[in-house]
Structure 1
Amino acid sequence: MESSNDQKNGDMEAVPLFGYELMRDILLPEILGKHTTDILYWGGKSLARRFPLVSLEETEAFFLEAGWGKLTLADDKKDEQIFILSGPFVERRLSLKTDISFKMEAGFLAEQVQSKKKAVTEAAEEIHKRSKTVKIIVRTDPKDKIE
């Protein structure tokens, strides 16, 4: 029999994946309907404003702790970053029969980069079921500055 200490990962209780999937991939789309992806994207941007991160390492750690997957910076150009999201959680979500989006993660990354570059930044995701990864492309418009 496992003790409550055995069920903990550090100081954090493990959240059952099935419960997360029920909320994120089944219930939210049911409630939000055709607006799901837009709302999740802007929700991700809102979360990034609440959790400003200063480094790539902090962002990678945030993704792991949030249960969003392993985030890796694959390419870093002046106005474009390409991130790869992978790992068991991403693989499991991609194997579901429902339509899966990673818009919240894309919005989160867009806002994190925008806050650093002080220019309008947007992100899009590409789902690669064959490699069981998600590519998130973050593009900044250096001509469109923000305060």
Structure 2
Amino acid sequence: MSESNNDIVGYDLIRNDVLQLVLGKEHDQLLYWVGKSLARKYKLEQVEELHTFFQQVYWGELHLSKQKKNEWHFDLSGDWMTKNDERSYQLEAGFLAETLETQFAIATAATFVKKGKTVRFTVHFDHKDTLAV
């Protein structure tokens, strides 16, 4: 195994096993809020930066697939995504929600569904709930 593969295996071990053991039944909720917190720490100025950021942190290949007024759809793929993939993608959902909320000053929430070898994120915008900048 090359060094980069070892890094990925270590990341997966922490992400998929250790965090679930430590966080227990609160795992998904806490990952969502950790994702939001990470987005505040690693502020991205433009939506286009999301693709590169996701690659750099080994979260996979992220692409904006559809834009509607009240929601945007992102597709995430990666080599590890198979029908046996049991990881939670709440960390990524929280990161997406907070990044877009910060960029547009509109309240957001993100959800996800697994579709084969892809995860589809839907970021919901609440245009009635604008945020002070």
TM-score over 0.5 (shorter chain): yes
Aligned runs of 1:22-37 on 2, under 5 Å?
22-37=13-28
Task: Show CA shifts across 1:89-131 (max 9, x none).
Answer: 4x26x534xx321000000000011012212100001011x3x
Q: What is the match of residue 111 of structure 2?
A: 124
Which of 66, 82, 95 in structure 2 is aligned with 1:75?
A: 66
- Is 1:100 matched up with 2:91? no
- Is 1:139 matched up with 2:124? yes
Residue 87 of structure 1 and its aligned partner are, at CA, apart by 2.5
CA–CA distance in structure 1, aligned partners of residues 55 and 100 of structure 2: 18
**Which 4+ runs in 1 deviate beyond 4 A?**
none
Task: Show CA shifts across 1:1-33 (max 9, x none).
Answer: xxxxx95xxxxx665222111101111011100
Q: Report the secondary structure of 1:95's partner residue.
A: coil
Tell me: CA distance 1:54–1:95, structure 2 relative to 1, closer, same or farther (3 Å).
same
Aligned runs of 1:14-53 on 2, under 5 Å?
16-53=7-44
Consecutive unaligned residues of structure 2, counting only runs of 5 or more, are: none
- What's the TM-score once normalised by structure 2's chain length? 0.90
Q: Match of 2:114, as an amino acid?
A: I
Does structure 1 conserve the Cα–Cα contact (< 8 Å) formed by 2:61 and 2:77?
yes
Tell me: CA distance 1:49–1:76, structure 2 relative to 1, closer, same or farther (3 Å).
same
Q: How many residues align?
A: 131
CA–CA distance in structure 1, aligned partners of residues 16 and 78 of structure 2: 17
Q: Report the secondary structure of 1:28's partner residue.
A: helix
